[in-house]
Structure 1
Amino acid sequence: MTAHDRARFADSCLQLCGLDDCSREADVLHKECHLPRMSRDEDGVQRVEATICWWFNPFGDETLDRDSADLVNLSSGLMCSEQTTKDLLEAEQQGKEAFQRFIKNRVVDQCDKFHDPIQKLKLSTFTVRKERTTTRSALKVAVLKADCALFSKMAVIAQLRHLDIREVLAYPLSAAPLSLCTAEGTMVKTNKAALLQLLSKTDCTSHEPAPPSSAALIVDAMALLRTLKPTSLPGTLGELAKHVFICLARNFPQFRRIDFVADTYPEYSIKDVERSRRAQSHGEIRLRISSGQQHTPKQWAKFLSSGSSKTELVSFLVTEWSTDAYASHLKARQLYATDGISCVKLVSPDGLTTTAT
């Protein structure tokens, strides 16, 4: 309400000091109308637009064929776990139930003191929280106690019913045969590292001549991605796709055909059970990729522990490599890349990337 009075005082001060000469355009322009300030504001607007564009769109077409129960972080694309999804979707209901318990126990029934501390609802959020897992030694003790209890019951029943103890003990005491599962309940596995140790002890030097230019090179996609060090990962997924593609083009220049082969990760499989077991002990990060501007996960090992995340990453790499920006690196080569159960052929005969499935 006093702006006009303060402006009049300012003009009077300028006239008193002899600074009321407004012949120059810069003297009459507001500071926000000067070119440096305008360019800085325009740069800020562009950065805000770029940030919003690479955010994950939960209402986009890319989510129509997916499970709508999954919750995704808008800024990072990280998918929350089942427990986190349950807590976030039921947070309001759990708060109302806690309020009803407070009224019932402290006001109506008065079984609790009114001024006692209120227990906090420990609802999980997008923050990764490592769950406490049972150690192997504790599992072994529990299994042995259960086996001993079962053995004693079987012995007593065989004695009371006059059964042949040899026939009774012909069956395993554990829930599953030990030839298939361990005492902790996990499946019996083969140590693949033993093969690497055996090969390291033997002379594996190859004396074969260099492969001809017509030979094809098969690259294990996950083996190549796991060799990337987390400290040297590019900042965005788009830069990661370019880095992996340049590695294929530069490190194997003598091959005219390169096959970039990735596994499939079905939900119900023996490997999925093992992957879930590892994720419980080390944790996993599930990510949905919608743009090349998304930040590369710094916890690279946890990111590659999820089958869905690896499927998303391989599909993104194939889609990114299908653009014309990679034609100059592809040159006269043929790149075959798997995307789920399909295979995509990438060539650039005329400087433009051509794809065929």
Structure 2
Amino acid sequence: MAMHKEKFISECVESGDRFEATIKQNKILNFANSTAKKKIQINNKVQEVRLQRDLCGRMLAISMNENTNIEKILTFPLTPVPMSLCHLDGSIFKTDKSVLMKLLENDVKSVAPTHTDVCLIDGFYLVHSMKDIPKTFGNISKKILQMVTNNNKAREIHIIFDRYFTPSIKDYERSLRGGNGDERAYVISGPDQTRPVDFVKELRNSNFKEALVHFLIVHWQSSEMIPFFENKTVLLNFDQCYEYKVYNETVLFSINDMYTLQGHEEADTKIVYHACNIPEEANIIIKCSDTDILIIMLANMNHLKKNSKVWIQTGILSKQRVIDVSALYNRHGELFCKSLTGFHALTGCDFNPAFFRKGKQRPLKILILSEQCQSAFAELGSEDCDRESVYREIEKFVCSMYAMKTVESVNSARFSLF
């Protein structure tokens, strides 16, 4: 305090106006400050340079006293996390998956189908796209079914929802999207129950989403929902696949065993499973926003019924567009399309890290030009996979991503870049 007093007196002596000027608040130092922790943000790039400098310094010090093989040293993990795949805190590098969808759809001119037999809809994509959300759960249920059937020319509509298990491979991605936070239990007692004020925020709670789907399953069986079905067959896939039909002013409710996948979590693969198990030739349109569905669908086009065709409708309002998946498959062929799932996983998806600053565009160009890489990625994960040859080819692919076309070993490429 004495220091601040002396400072104020000296300032008043120097300037006559200082006495009436504002006195800034002084930070009082006490014992609490001795244990206070400051939160500071360090630029990852600067921290990485320090890490590399320390690493080089240690290696140089060792080499002065020992006969060291730098190429051999670089084959071992020398940092706490791989800097080509992770941030310093251990979180994985991400890349924009939608770039891959845009690159692929630019290869064909897509025209919407003149008629649609079956429509497959990502359930939570539909829920998230809902505007002017009604106040009660009963009206929300009606609006969702109306969104599904209104202006939909398909005779059969499948709505497929994610399920939520713990622990799950999707936990990390959900945490990035704001999920896995407030996971309190939620019960919807009936159609007159008022929804939460912040409906979108509540959708981050997996228990709330499960309660909402279970409510839809029950509520759609009631007679008040008959006008909203519009003489269409509606299937809802969650823990089981529930089927709804209207006959003689009654909702006929049943379990469809053919599409039931108990214990299956991911909606993306369930959507593709539905498409591949439609029993007759059909024009199929998938409504979703996820690049993963396009990639998985392309890899499984050979499982469709003969002469069936698939389109994906994505985007909202004025940005809505259609991708002709069948035309894309015919354009690139079976081998390339089968290779896309392995390629997508290696170059970065929800569960796997992306290579730092490599993205999707350059790696895709390499894949298109190399039939050997396509074969390796297509074989990756199959039961009869020749691991040694497949891994060797994928290693060459990674080297090519770093412009090392003549290098076949990742260790050799790392030494050359070092």
Normalized against structure 2, the TM-score is what? 0.44
Instruction: Find the counterpart in structure 2 of residue 165 from structure 1.
Output: 70
Whether the aligned pair in 2 keeps the contact of 1:140 and 1:183 (CA below 8 Å) is no
Instruction: Find the counterpart in structure 1 of residue 171 from structure 2.
Output: 272
Instruction: Find the counterpart in structure 2 of residue 220 from structure 1.
Output: 122
**Structure 2 vs 1, CA of residues 354 and 210 (structure 1 numbering), >3 Å: closer, same or farther?**
closer
Instruction: Find the counterpart in structure 2 of residue 74 from structure 1.
Output: none
- Tell me the SS of whatever aligns to 1:345: strand
Whether the aligned pair in 2 keeps the contact of 1:289 and 1:316 (CA below 8 Å) is no
Please give the alpha-carbon distance, in whole angstroms, between the structure 2 residues aligned to 1:133 and 1:329: 54
Instruction: Find the counterpart in structure 2 of residue 262 from structure 1.
Output: 161
Root-mean-square deviation over aligned CA pairs: 3.6
Q: 1:350 aligns with which of 218, 237, 248?
A: 248
**Structure 2 vs 1, CA of residues 275 and 151 (structure 1 numbering), >3 Å: closer, same or farther?**
farther
Is 1:175 paired with 2:73? Answer: no
Give the letter for the 1:288 counterpart: Y
Whether the aligned pair in 2 keeps the contact of 1:318 and 1:339 (CA below 8 Å) is no
For residues 196-211 of structure 1, what are the structure 2 equivalents within 5 Å?
197-198=102-103, 204-206=109-111, 208-211=113-116
- 1:317 is displaced (CA, Å) by 1.8
Q: 1:289 aligns with which of 187, 192, 195?
A: 187
- Tell me the SS of whatever aligns to 1:219: strand
Give the letter for the 1:259 counterpart: H
Whether the aligned pair in 1 keeps the contact of 2:182 and 2:205 (CA below 8 Å) is yes
Please give the alpha-carbon distance, in whole angstroms, between the structure 1 residues aligned to 2:162 and 2:104: 24
Is 1:247 paired with 2:147? Answer: yes
- Tell me the SS of whatever aligns to 1:348: strand
Whether the aligned pair in 1 keeps the contact of 2:44 and 2:87 (CA below 8 Å) is no
- Tell me the SS of whatever aligns to 2:170: helix
Please give the alpha-carbon distance, in whole angstroms, between the structure 2 residues aligned to 1:191 and 1:217: 27
Whether the aligned pair in 2 keeps the contact of 1:283 and 1:302 (CA below 8 Å) is no
- Tell me the SS of whatever aligns to 2:114: coil
Please give the alpha-carbon distance, in whole angstroms, between the structure 2 residues aligned to 1:134 and 1:242: 49
Is 1:323 paired with 2:228? Answer: no
Whether the aligned pair in 2 keeps the contact of 1:158 and 1:168 (CA below 8 Å) is no
Q: 1:339 aligns with which of 238, 250, 259?
A: 238
Give the letter for the 2:128 counterpart: R
Give the letter for the 2:247 counterpart: P
- 1:221 is displaced (CA, Å) by 0.8
- 1:145 is displaced (CA, Å) by 4.0
For residues 223-234 of structure 1, what are the structure 2 equivalents within 5 Å?
223-229=125-131, 232-234=132-134
**Structure 2 vs 1, CA of residues 175 and 269 (structure 1 numbering), >3 Å: closer, same or farther?**
farther
Give the letter for the 1:344 counterpart: Y
**Structure 2 vs 1, CA of residues 146 and 266 (structure 1 numbering), >3 Å: closer, same or farther?**
farther
- 1:203 is displaced (CA, Å) by 7.2
**Structure 2 vs 1, CA of residues 293 and 269 (structure 1 numbering), >3 Å: closer, same or farther?**
same
Normalized against structure 1, the TM-score is what? 0.51
- Tell me the SS of whatever aligns to 1:273: helix
Count of residues in Structure 1 that have an aligned counterpart in Structure 2: 219
Q: Percent identity, please.
A: 25
- Tell me the SS of whatever aligns to 1:347: strand
- 1:154 is displaced (CA, Å) by 4.5
Please give the alpha-carbon distance, in whole angstroms, between the structure 2 residues aligned to 1:287 and 1:238: 20
**Structure 2 vs 1, CA of residues 203 and 247 (structure 1 numbering), >3 Å: closer, same or farther?**
same
- 1:298-349 deviation digits (Å, cap 9, x = unpaired): 4344333344433332222222212332133225321110123x21112222
Please give the alpha-carbon distance, in whole angstroms, between the structure 2 residues aligned to 1:177 and 1:311: 37
- Tell me the SS of whatever aligns to 1:258: strand
Whether the aligned pair in 2 keeps the contact of 1:261 and 1:337 (CA below 8 Å) is yes
Look at both structures and tell me which one has the larger radius of gyration over its CA atoms: 1
- 1:110-135 deviation digits (Å, cap 9, x = unpaired): xxxxxxxxx9xxxxxxxxxxxx9986
Instruction: Find the counterpart in structure 2 of residue 309 from structure 1.
Output: 208
Whether the aligned pair in 1 keeps the contact of 2:188 and 2:212 (CA below 8 Å) is no
Whether the aligned pair in 2 keeps the contact of 1:140 and 1:184 (CA below 8 Å) is no
Please give the alpha-carbon distance, in whole angstroms, between the structure 2 residues aligned to 1:327 and 1:174: 62
**Structure 2 vs 1, CA of residues 175 and 310 (structure 1 numbering), >3 Å: closer, same or farther?**
farther
- Tell me the SS of whatever aligns to 1:175: coil
Give the letter for the 1:228 counterpart: M
Give the letter for the 2:204 counterpart: S
- Tell me the SS of whatever aligns to 1:274: helix
Give the letter for the 1:206 counterpart: V
Instruction: Find the counterpart in structure 1 of residue 138 from structure 2.
Output: 238
- 1:173 is displaced (CA, Å) by 3.2
Instruction: Find the counterpart in structure 2 of residue 193 from structure 1.
Output: 98
**Structure 2 vs 1, CA of residues 333 and 279 (structure 1 numbering), >3 Å: closer, same or farther?**
same
Instruction: Find the counterpart in structure 1 of residue 260 from structure 2.
Output: none
Whether the aligned pair in 2 keeps the contact of 1:333 and 1:347 (CA below 8 Å) is yes
**Structure 2 vs 1, CA of residues 313 and 158 (structure 1 numbering), >3 Å: closer, same or farther?**
farther
- 1:182-216 deviation digits (Å, cap 9, x = unpaired): 455222434122245447867744164223xxx11
